[in-house]
């Protein structure tokens, strides 16, 4: 049996990915939740092991990761999936929201990787043929920045860069690091981040607030199912030579086109979209 650790399996992509690996029957699946019991139905599978930690909590993270070796399992795949997406205008976003975005999406992923790496090295030494990998769940927001989710984008740009850095630093040890970058996915991530819009009432950005709800429901309606991301993560885990960056969208050509256009044209196109309320 191979062993995988996925952070953030309470809902969405993490939960779907854990379920997908469990269906394959030859994986020990460790999944992290912040509250015991949050893994829901996954908990009924004997090959699922719940770890309880917040990715920003080093002692808890280290204590829980130690359970993998204590169980005699050799970790070969780490999926850094846990993430949050608070939105708002950069000018008036509270410092705590700014910091928390990076604490979870960037430092949480990097420090989980640091804590998991001794186990990944040990597996590599014991089983030279086994794929030993780190898979970071990044986003299309890690290649295109939309206003008012700019901070989320900044965190995903950072995670893309860390992915390249880790892959290059770990090359001598034959441990791979790749990213899977979905566009909108049907998960509760944006809805979970709602509730702080009042912070922007009365600021010069309150004109954007009524577009927020339509953005969230469009992202949910137009998103791909989380299972498609799970399939891409599975492919990245088992492929002989996985793509270093896998963009995963129903229609990826508009994003690729944006990359070819002059930046100021992209600025105008984005605002045209916002004004038509397709996307804020």
Ligand X SMILES: NC(=O)c1ccc[n+]([C@@H]2O[C@H](COP(=O)([O-])OP(=O)(O)OC[C@H]3O[C@@H](n4cnc5c(N)ncnc54)[C@H](OP(=O)(O)O)[C@@H]3O)[C@@H](O)[C@H]2O)c1
Please tell me whether residue 56 binds ligand X under the rule CB under 6 A: yes
Please tell me whether residue 45 binds ligand X under the rule CB under 6 A: no
Residue 48 host element (H or E): strand 48-52
Please tell me whether residue 88 binds ligand X under the rule CB under 6 A: no
Q: How far is CA 60 from CA 64, 67, 112, 196, in A?
A: 6, 11, 11, 28
Residue 31 host element (H or E): strand 27-33
Check the CA dihedral 109-216-141-148 and report its sign. negative
Please tell me whether residue 86 binds ligand X under the rule CB under 6 A: no
Please tell me whether residue 42 binds ligand X under the rule CB under 6 A: no
- Between CA 243 and CA 54 the distance in angstroms is 29
Please tell me whether residue 54 binds ligand X under the rule CB under 6 A: yes
Instruction: Locate the DSSP E strands across 93-228.
Output: 133-137, 176-182
Give least dist CB 184 to ligand X, A: 4
Give least dist CB 127 to ligand X, A: 28
Query: By CB under 6 A, which span of 119-127, 169-177, 186-194, 267-275 interacts with ligand X?
Result: 186-194
Q: From the CB of residue 52, how many other CB atoms can be counted at a distance below 10 Å?
A: 16
List the catalytic residue out of 20, 30, 152, 205.
152
Q: Which two tokens stand for residue 53?
A: 């930690």
DSSP β-bridge partners for residue 177: 134
Q: Which of 86, 131, 184, 242 binds ligand X (CB under 6 A)?
A: 184
Binding footprint of ligand X on the chain (CB under 6 A) = 7-14, 34, 54-56, 81-85, 104, 108, 137, 139, 182, 184-185, 187-189, 192, 219, 223
* Residues forming the active site: 152
């Amino acid at each position: 049996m191979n062993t995988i650790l996925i952070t953030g399996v309470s809902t969405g992509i993490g939960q779907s990915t854990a379920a997908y690996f469990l269906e394959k029957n030859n994986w020990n699946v460790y999944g992290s939740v912040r509250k015991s019991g949050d893994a829901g139905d996954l908990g009924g599978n004997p090959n699922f092991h719940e770890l309880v930690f917040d990715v920003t909590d080093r002692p808890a993270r280290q204590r829980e990761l130690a359970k993998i070796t204590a169980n005699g399992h050799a970790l070969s795949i780490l999926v850094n999936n846990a993430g949050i997406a608070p939105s708002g205008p950069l000018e008036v976003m509270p410092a705590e929201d700014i910091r928390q975005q990076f604490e979870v999406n960037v430092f949480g992923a990097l420090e989980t990787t640091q804590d998991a790496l001794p186990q990944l090295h040990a597996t590599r030494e014991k089983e030279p043929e086994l794929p030993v990998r780190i898979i970071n769940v990044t986003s299309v927001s890690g290649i295109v920045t939309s206003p008012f989710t700019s901070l989320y984008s900044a965190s995903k740009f950072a995670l893309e860069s860390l992915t390249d850095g880790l892959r290059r630093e770990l090359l001598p040890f034959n441990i791979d690091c790749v990213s899977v970058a979905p566009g909108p996915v049907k998960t509760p991530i944006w809805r979970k981040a709602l509730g702080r819009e009042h912070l922007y009432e009365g600021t010069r950005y309150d004109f954007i607030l009524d577009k927020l709800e339509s953005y969230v429901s469009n992202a949910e309606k137009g998103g791909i199912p989380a299972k498609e991301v799970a399939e891409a993560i599975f492919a990245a885990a088992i492929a002989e030579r996985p793509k270093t960056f896998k963009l995963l969208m129903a229609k990826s050509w508009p994003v690729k086109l944006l990359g070819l256009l002059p930046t100021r044209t992209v600025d105008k196109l984005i605002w045209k979209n916002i004004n038509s309320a397709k996307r804020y």
